[in-house]
């Protein structure tokens, strides 16, 4: 199979997007400057999903979501992304997004992993516990198969030799022998990890000791299998009939190994079902489990096939096996792995058409989003740790996904003996030279989802950072900026009066931010303009350096943050949409000072918590459009904002609503009542008036 280049892939995407623009009458820009526009939704679990939901609701009121060419998501941002793609696919319109019914259902089921109430919730929790135990037990099938094969092979050798090897073992009690073998084997495993820690996980040390580790692990599993079937056997000579039985059992175990797919034995399916039940429950009639390849097709006659932005779902290709991997270079431990309707893959292993090969043909939207949110996995990109890999593998803490390697694909599904991949995870021997590769949470390499939009040279990027960041250190932003500069030759330079550290990070004596977003300019210092080698007729790198960096785009960075309240609000008489928001952002923050950066480990949002983050998202969306008060918000709703108007707003401060709303409006406010009494973190939230103002 010829390797599809990244440039070829992007050109094919843009051919489809030009068709989409034409059919939707959204042609903007010029042939020389097409003004590609992308929205990036960051990772952060249910917190990120809820904030992104609020932001997109506000942007959708002005046609901005539909104006986007690309929507790129990571992890929790993918929850919201899947909701948008699935619902628009079913309805064929953006008008059916974010309805009261849909938002109410999601608010009630914010505890999406155990979404029921009362006894139903208790039952779900019990089932979840049972599922974990069963899943863990099933995950041990692979290593037990290997142990069983080794055991039967051992018995066959005994039968052929006619005597017990190591006859001296019979001088000692069997239990004592087993104990010492396990102690020695376990001790050598511990030595391996201690040495790795001392030498900072040196690749050279790992190479020497991994062979020992493999042998010791195999020995341990053999002993376990031995004990399971009755311990040491001595005395009578094994008959030829018994040898045949052992051989048949060994072959059967070997054959079973082809059916023990680790993807089916992990929590991936449970996680996928829970996400689909919540975020795709409004896209029924087969759209809740739609194939990834069928989400977008601008050549279709059906509007629902191309009305939504082109989806980019970001995952991480885990690379923990430098030795023997001819593609692996340096200390790189991951690569950007793309899942999209047209192509899937990474620059390292190549890209393949999504609709051509079995694993990718059968990839569904819920599956892709679940993989992108696989935060717990033995391989975690730049966060990988060999000792942690062992613990996660043994306890089946595996949400990652094994999928066919684009570099080794054939038209039919590859035949894989799965137990060996258990050991690859256990020993951290995951690489790109095998039939199967391991992909996980896109946040394991870049958590904002911006990188792929930079590759596509988007003129305007609106990026939401809803990751956990209590100290406002901007780790995900910093990671992306460094990667863009070093790997793409792109510098994202925040304007002098738009530094996130000054505007978004609260002052030492305050708990509120001054602003919820910052604007930067995108500059290109160098780029790799591929050329065709006249000898091989294949693409090769051609680095072009610019004497002066040229501006190629605008980057708008939205950060989950809370502004200080302004004055005492008064309830408007005519009512407004925001008055229907039940829980005030400020009151929630009083009782939960970590808001809006509560731990990502909290994936169980109650209704108050869900509404607080959702409301905050709407405020952030209003802020970034320059909407300062509620009446202005209501009057401006329905106004169509083009990409050019957005660019002029962010670059030149040309008011988006000039001539669309009365500028003399006084800032009103909203006043609502907190309707529930709830205890969170041991602090009662009492019934009282909640006053808030944007």
Is 285 inside any structural domain?
no
pLDDT of residue 308: 96
Is 408 inside any structural domain?
no
Collapsed DSSP state (helix, strand, coil) of residue 166:
coil
pLDDT of residue 248: 66
Give me the chain's average pLDDT, please: 75
Confidence check: pLDDT of 636 > 70: no
Is 327 inside any structural domain?
no
Give the pLDDT confidence of 659-683 residue by residue, as tens digits. 666 544 433 333 232 233 344 444 4
Higher pLDDT, 325 or 253: 253
Which residues are registered as beta bridge partners of 345? 338, 351
Confidence check: pLDDT of 187 > 80: no
If you average pLDDT over residues 328-338, what whole number do you get? 74
Contact 39, 68 (CB under 8 A): yes
User: What's the domain count of the chain?
Assistant: 1
pTM of the predicted model, to two decimals? Answer: 0.78
Give the pLDDT confidence of 49-71 residue by residue, as tens digits. 999 999 999 999 999 999 999 99
Confidence check: pLDDT of 444 > 80: yes
If you average pLDDT over residues 133-142, what whole number do you get? 49
Is 222 inside any structural domain?
yes
pLDDT of residue 446: 96
Q: How far apart are the C-alpha atoms of 599 and 580, rounded to whole Å?
A: 27
pLDDT of residue 272: 86
Residues whose CB is less than 8 angstroms from the CB of residue 333 and which lie 6 or more positions away in sequence, other chains included:
318, 319, 320, 381, 382, 384
Give the pLDDT confidence of 205-247 residue by residue, as tens digits. 334 444 454 555 555 555 545 554 444 444 455 555 666 666 6
pLDDT of residue 429: 75
Backbone region of residue 345 per phi and psi (left: phi > 0; alpha: psi in -120 to 50; beta: other values): left
Is 267 inside any structural domain?
no
Q: What is the 3-state secondary structure (H, E, C) of 171-220?
A: HCCHHHHHHHHHHHHHHHHHHHHHHHHHCCCCHHHHHHHHHHHHHHHHHH
Collapsed DSSP state (helix, strand, coil) of residue 117:
coil
Q: Pick from 132-136, 266-270, 320-324, 679-683 the range whose average pLDDT is largest.
A: 266-270
Is 163 inside any structural domain?
yes
Confidence check: pLDDT of 344 > 90: yes
Confidence check: pLDDT of 127 > 60: no
Higher pLDDT, 364 or 154: 364
Q: How far apart are the C-alpha atoms of 154 and 225, rounded to whole Å?
A: 11
Task: Write the DSSP symbol of residue 563.
Answer: B
Higher pLDDT, 389 or 510: 510
Per-residue burial over 344-382, b = 16 or more CB atoms within 10 Å of its CB, e = otherwise: bbbbbbbbbbbeebebbeebbbbbbbbbbbbbbbbbbbe
Q: How far apart are the C-alpha atoms of 481 and 520, rounded to whole Å?
A: 11
Is 521 inside any structural domain?
no
Q: Pick from 228-242, 504-518, 530-544 the range whose average pLDDT is largest.
A: 504-518
Lowest-pLDDT choice from 137-141, 200-204, 271-275: 200-204
pLDDT of residue 243: 60
Confidence check: pLDDT of 84 > 90: yes
DSSP 639-667: ----HHHHHHHHHH---TTTTTS-TT---
Higher pLDDT, 681 or 438: 438
If you average pLDDT over residues 2-7, what whole number do you get? 80
pLDDT of residue 474: 96
Higher pLDDT, 627 or 452: 452
Higher pLDDT, 626 or 637: 626
Confidence check: pLDDT of 650 > 90: yes
Contact 514, 472 (CB under 8 A): no
DSSP 402-450: EEE-GGG--SSPPP--THHHHHHHHTT---SSSSEEEEEEGGGT-SSS-
Higher pLDDT, 200 or 501: 501
Bridge-based pairing state of the strands 350-353 and 343-346: antiparallel
Is 310 inside any structural domain?
no
Higher pLDDT, 691 or 7: 7
Contact 295, 341 (CB under 8 A): yes
Confidence check: pLDDT of 193 > 50: no
Helix, strand, coil abundance in the chain, percent, nearest 5:
45, 15, 40
Confidence check: pLDDT of 42 > 60: yes
Lowest-pLDDT choice from 131-145, 423-437, 446-460: 131-145
Lowest-pLDDT choice from 78-92, 137-151, 383-397: 137-151
Confidence check: pLDDT of 652 > 50: yes
pLDDT of residue 423: 75
Confidence check: pLDDT of 174 > 70: no
Task: Write the DSSP symbol of residue 5.
Answer: P
Give the pLDDT confidence of 459-493 residue by residue, as tens digits. 999 999 999 999 999 999 999 999 999 999 999 99
R_g of the chain, CA atoms, integer Å: 28
In which domain, by residue range, is 230 found? 140-259
């Amino acid at each position: 199979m010829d390797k599809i280049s990244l440039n070829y892939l992007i050109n094919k995407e843009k051919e489809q997007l030009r068709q989409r623009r034409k059919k939707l009458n959204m042609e903007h820009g010029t042939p020389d400057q097409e003004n590609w526009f992308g929205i990036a939704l960051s990772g952060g679990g249910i917190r990120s999903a809820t904030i992104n939901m609020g932001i997109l609701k506000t942007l959708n009121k002005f046609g901005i979501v539909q104006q986007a060419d690309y929507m790129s998501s990571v992890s929790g941002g993918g929850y919201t992304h899947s909701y948008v793609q699935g619902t628009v696919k079913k309805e064929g319109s953006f008008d059916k997004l974010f309805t009261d019914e849909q938002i109410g259902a999601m608010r009630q089921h914010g505890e999406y992993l155990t979404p029921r109430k009362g006894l139903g919730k208790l039952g779900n929790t019990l089932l979840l516990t049972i599922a974990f135990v069963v899943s863990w037990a099933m995950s041990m099938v692979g290593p037990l198969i290997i142990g069983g094969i080794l055991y039967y092979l051992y018995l066959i050798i005994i039968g052929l030799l006619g005597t017990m090897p190591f006859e001296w073992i019979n001088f000692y009690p069997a239990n004592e022998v087993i104990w010492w073998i396990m102690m020695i084997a376990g001790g050598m495993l511990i030595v391996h990890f201690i040495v790795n820690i001392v030498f900072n996980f040196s690749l050279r040390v790992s190479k020497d000791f991994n062979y020992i580790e493999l042998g010791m692990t195999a020995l341990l599993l053999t002993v376990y299998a031995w004990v399971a079937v009755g311990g040491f056997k001595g005395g009578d000579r094994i008959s030829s009939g018994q040898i045949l039985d052992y051989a048949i059992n060994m072959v059967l175990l070997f054959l079973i190994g082809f059916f023990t797919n680790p993807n089916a034995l992990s929590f991936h399916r449970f996680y996928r079902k829970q996400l689909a039940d919540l975020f795709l429950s409004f896209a029924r009639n087969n759209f809740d489990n739609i194939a990834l390849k069928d989400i977008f097709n601008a050549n279709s006659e059906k509007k629902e096939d191309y009305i939504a932005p082109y989806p980019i779902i970001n995952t991480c290709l885990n690379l923990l096996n430098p030795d023997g991997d001819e593609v692996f270079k340096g200390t790189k431990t991951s690569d950007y792995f793309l899942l999209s309707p047209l192509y899937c893959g990474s620059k390292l292993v190549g890209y393949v058409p999504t609709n051509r090969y079995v694993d990718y043909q059968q990839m569904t939207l819920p599956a892709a989003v679940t993989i992108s949110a696989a935060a717990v996995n033995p391989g975690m990109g730049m966060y990988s740790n060999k000792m942690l890999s062992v613990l996660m593998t043994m306890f089946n803490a595996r949400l990652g996904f094994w999928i066919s390697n684009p570099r080794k694909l054939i038209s039919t599904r590859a035949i894989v003996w799965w137990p060996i991949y258990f050991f690859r995870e256990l020993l951290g021997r995951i690489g790109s030279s095998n039939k199967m590769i391991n992909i996980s949470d896109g946040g394991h390499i870049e958590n904002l989802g911006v990188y792929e939009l930079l590759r596509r040279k988007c003129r305007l990027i609106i990026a939401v950072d809803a990751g956990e960041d209590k100290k406002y250190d901007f780790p995900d932003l910093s990671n992306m900026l460094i990667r863009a500069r070093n790997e793409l030759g792109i510098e994202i330079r925040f304007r002098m009066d738009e530094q996130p550290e000054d505007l978004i990070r609260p002052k030492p004596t305050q708990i509120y931010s001054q602003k919820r977003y910052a604007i930067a300019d995108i500059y290109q210092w160098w780029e790799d303009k591929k050329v065709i080698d006249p000898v091989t007729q294949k693409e090769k790198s051609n680095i072009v350096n610019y004497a002066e960096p040229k501006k190629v785009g605008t980057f708008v960075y939205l950060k989950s943050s809370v502004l200080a309240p302004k004055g005492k609000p008064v309830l408007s008489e005519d009512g407004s949409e925001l008055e229907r928001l039940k829980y005030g952002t400020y009151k929630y923050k009083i009782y939960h000072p970590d808001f809006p950066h509560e731990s990502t480990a909290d994936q169980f949002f109650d209704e108050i918590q869900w509404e607080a983050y959702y409301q905050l998202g709407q405020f952030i969306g209003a802020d970034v459009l320059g909407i300062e008060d509620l009446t202005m918000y209501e009057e401006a709703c329905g106004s169509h904002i083009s990409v050019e108007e957005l660019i002029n707003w962010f670059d030149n401060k040309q008011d988006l609503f000039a001539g669309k709303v009365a500028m003399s409006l006084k800032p009103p406010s909203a006043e609502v009542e907190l309707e529930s009494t709830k205890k969170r973190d041991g602090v009662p939230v009492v019934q009282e008036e909640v006053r808030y103002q944007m």
